[in-house]
Structure 1
Amino acid sequence: MVQNKTRLVTKGYRQEEGIEFEESFAHAAPLEAVRMFIAYATHKNITIFQMDVKMAFLNSPLKEEVYVSQHEGFFYPKFPNHVYRLKKALYSLKQAPRAWYEKLSSFLIEHGFTKGIVDPTLFTQRHEGDILLVQVYVDDIIFGSTSPDFLKHFAKLMKNNFEMSMMGELKFFLGLQVHQSPRGIFISQS
C-alpha cells in the first residue's frame, strides 16, 4: 500500500489477461449508450441531471479474499510478517469498481429498478405511465424522468443511502458537452 493525501491506496500489480478478469471487471456505460440515453431523453422531453458518488470505491464489500502488507503507521511490530485481509474495497484496488457496481446494482434492483438486458449500466423504473432512467458510469450517474416527483424521490433515495454530490443539469459527461433547452438536447465533442 502507499499513503496518498492521508488516504490509503493499494499498490497495483500486473494482472494477466484472462486470469481473475471477473474479479476486476466492472460495467461502465460506453459512449454509445450515453448517446442513446440522451437521444431517448430528448424524445421524451426529459431533462437530464448528474450526480457523483463520493468515495464510491471505499467500503464496497469484496467477494474474494484480498490481502495487503502492513503499512507504515499501521505496522504491528510484534507480527512484522503478518498481512491485513481487506473486507471492503480501497482506492486503486482492481476489484473496487466491480464491487461498487455490484453494490449499486443490487441497491437499485432492491428499490424496484430493472437492469437493462443489453446495457447493464442502464436502470429503469416505471410508475403510472412515467419512467425514470438511470445510467451508471463507474461513480458518475446521469438520470432523468418524465415525472418531477420521480426525480426528487430518486435523488433523496440516493442521498439517504450514499454520500452523493448533486451536480445539477447535465452539462459535461465523458467528453461530451451537453446543452439542454426547450428545443431539445444538443451534444458536441471537442
Structure 2
Amino acid sequence: MIAEFKGEMMRQYEMTDLGLLHHFLGLGVLQTDNYIFLHQKKYAKTLLEKFELRDCKPVATPLAMNEKLTKVDGSDLADETLYRQMVGSLLYLTTTRPDIMFAASLLARFMHNPTKKHMGTAKRVLRYIQGTVNYGVVYEKGKGAVLVGYCDSDWSGSEDDMRSTSGYAFNLGSGVFSWASIKQSSVALSTAEAEYISAAEATAQAIWLRFVLSDFGEEQAEPTKLLCDNTSAIAISKNPVHHHKTRHINRKFHFIRDALQDGEIDLVYCKTEEQVADIFTKALARDRFEVLRTALGVISAHILEGSVSL
C-alpha cells in the first residue's frame, strides 16, 4: 500500500524518491524491518570537541548519587557564558537521550551565577555522554499502540527551597515520550500532595496525547493507565471530598478527578522498583539507572539485531 501511495504521489507531483530517511534536523535515523533507531551521535561528538572533552574518561552515570547542588556552595564562580552553552547543548541532546533529562534540567536551575562545582557537574554529564555516544531511542515495529504513563515525584528534592521535582513518561507500544519538570510551590507539600500534583501534570499530558493519537487514527478505546507508586495520592484522586490532605493543592490540579470519571485515565498503583519515571526525579545508583534507562528505550545501537554502524 505504501508503494502504491508513493507511486501515485510521484505521478501527481514533481518529486524524487530519495529512499529511507537517514538524517533530519541533526537527528540520525536508522530503519530496518524490525525497528527505527533515533540518535544524535554526530551532535554528541561535536559537543565533546567544542568543550574540549574529546579524550575525557567516561563515567557510568550522569550524576553522582549522593551529590547535592545548591546555588551557593562555597566554590568560585564559573564562566557563565560557557556554562549556559554547555547546559543548552545538553538540553537539546535530550531529544534522543531522555536518560540525561534530569541532569540537564537540574543544571538549568543554576544558569545565573553558576559555580565551578556546577561546571564540574555539567562536565560529568558530558563524560557520561562520552561513554554512551552510540546510544539513542529505539522504536520496535509491530507493537500495539496502547498508551501507558508513569509519574513520580521526589519530595522536597531541591536543597535551596525544599521544592519537589516531578517527572512523567509515556510509552506507546515501544516508543517513549518523556519529560522532567520542576514543580514549585509557595508552601511545603506532603509526599502525597507532591505525588498527586505529579499525577495531575501527567494527566494533562495524557489527555493531549490521546487527542493527538485520535487524529492519527490511533484512538485509545480504553482509559490510559497512569502508574503511580504512592497509594495516598491515588486515594486523593479517587476521593470526591476535598479533605484536609489536599489543603495545599491548587484547585487547578483537581481536574484529574474529572479525567478519571470521564474514563480518560486510570490511576494505577505500581511498585517503586517498577516506576520508570524515577529516573527523572533524582540521581540513581548505577544498577537501577541502567535498568530504567533500558525501560525508556535508550540503548546502544551496537546491541540491536544485526549490530548496526552509525
Bigger relative contact order (CA 8 A; separation at least 6): 1
Q: What's the TM-score, normalizing by structure 1? A: 0.30
More helix by share: 2
Kindly name which structure, 1 or 2, has the bigger radius of gyration based on alpha carbons: 2
Q: What is the TM-score normalised by the length of structure 2?
A: 0.21
More strand per residue: 1
